[in-house]
Structure formats: structure tokens, C-alpha cells
Amino acid sequence: MVIKKRDSRETEIKELTSLLSLPLPQDTRFLIERELRCIKSGDKGEQDSVVKVYDDKIEFFNPGGLPAGLTVEKLLKGNYISNARNKKVADAFKAVGLIEKYGSGIKRILREFRNYGLPDPEFREIGRGFMVTVFKKTGQVTEQVTTEVTTDVTGDVTEQVTEQVTEQVERVLSVLQGKTLSGSELMKQTGLAHRPTFLYRYIQPATQKGLIEMTIPDKPNSRLQKYRLTVKGKMILEKLKK
């Protein structure tokens, strides 16, 4: 998946504001913060800011490189003066609360990653651009639990996961019982009309917990993509019904 650079139109600022107002997981907020920095710091040349999502990491590329005299070492130490290339976009984001203050983004990202137990992001210059790579937490709970469920599910694990299932995720599981549905079909049957809410409060947590899966996982954006319950999802749904 590649996210192209957004421009400074008011509608897109409102869209980002709406997205940040959702009760997203902290790690998702970090990614949005990094994407916002891509938008407001990008060079005004032809090349776009690009976000590439992999299974174990996400790469954020921003054209233009660091300002003259600024190094990665100074950036990480906070030993620099913020200088937004796209001043109007930066001012607009600050006005609507999408950024706290100029120059605070790097420290904020590092602080929150550490608080959340995630590895520090990697910052590096590449040619005439700048790349930030964020990594998935080593040995994530979802992977561990999925393995346990596939091989030998214990009562303790089932109880723990059941307690963590939100009302929204439970609704997704109920709708998918005995069915395989596309994203639009699933959204309609859960009674939702706002796609960002559907994705971040329903689909994302259900997928992260290994309760639902894509029918075409290697092509997440396929027009033929559908969702179905996993073995773990079926077990949790049965547990929730008792």
C-alpha cells in the first residue's frame, strides 16, 4: 500500500481532523503523526511523500532531505530550530490541532513509541530525501495467541481474549458468522456509514486480534477482497454467546 502526499485543501485537513478524533490505538496515532510531518515538511518538487506498509515495518519517505546544517544526530537530540518548508500547511495543521507546536514531532514520536514498548524508529537520509522506518513490536501478542489457538487453545487464553473484545468487534464477529462478506457488505450489515470509523473501530481491532482475516491477504486492495472469521474468531464468538 502506498499513500500519496496530500495537499493543503481544507477538505483534506478536515478529513485528517476527523480521523484523529477517533479512539485509535496509540501506534496508529504515531503513524498519523509521522504522515503529518511528511505533509508539512515535504519539498515542493514533483516527487511525493510516500508511505509503504510491510508485514514487519512501515517506511515513510519524504523528498527534499534535511535542511542545510541539520543532521540526524541533531534531529534526535532536539538540537535544531524547526523550519517548515510548507509554512501554510504547517500553520493550518497547528490551527486545527493536528500538531502541538513546531519542532515537537520527533521528540513526541520517540517518547510515545517508548511508552508503548515499541522499538525506536530509524531515521536516515537517502539521496535527496529522508526516510523514517517504524518496526513492529518483537513477538507481538497477536502472533503468540494465534499460534496457541491454532495448536492448543487453553481456557486461560480464551478467557483473556474474550475480555478484550469490544462491542464493535463482537458485532463484526456476529455479522460474519457463517458468512464471507466484502468490506462494503460488512459495513452495511453493521449499520455504519462512516468508513474511517468502520475501519479503525471494527475491522482493524478484529484483524489485529486474529479474529477475522482477508480472503486475499496478499492483495489487500483487491476489488474481490472479502472478510471471514478465523478459527480463533469462531471460538471467541461461541464463548461470547454463553
Do residues 67 and 46 touch, judged by C-beta distance below 8 A? no
Assign residue 139 a region: left if phi > 0, alpha if psi is -120 to 50, beta otherwise?
Answer: left
Q: Which domains does the chain have, with CATH numbers?
A: 2-135 (3.30.565.60), 141-241 (1.10.10.10)
- Locate all alpha helices (DSSP H) within the chain, ordered by sequence: 10-20, 26-41, 72-77, 87-95, 105-115, 141-151, 155-164, 167-176, 183-189, 195-198, 204-208, 231-241
Rounded to the nearest 10 degrees, the angle between the axes of helix 231-241 and helix 141-151 is 80
- What is the SS3 assignment for 27? helix
pLDDT in tens, the chain (242 residues): 344 433 433 333 334 334 334 343 444 455 555 554 554 455 545 567 788 888 778 888 877 777 777 787 887 777 666 666 566 655 665 565 545 555 556 777 777 777 777 788 888 888 778 888 888 765 444 444 444 444 444 454 455 555 578 888 999 999 999 999 999 999 999 888 888 888 888 898 898 888 999 999 888 888 899 999 999 999 889 888 77
Reading the block at residue 160, the C-alpha cell is 483473556
How many Å separate Cα 91 from the centre of its chain? 24
User: Is the alpha carbon torsion for 205, 209, 211, 217 positive or negative?
Assistant: positive
Reading the block at residue 94, the C-alpha cell is 497547528
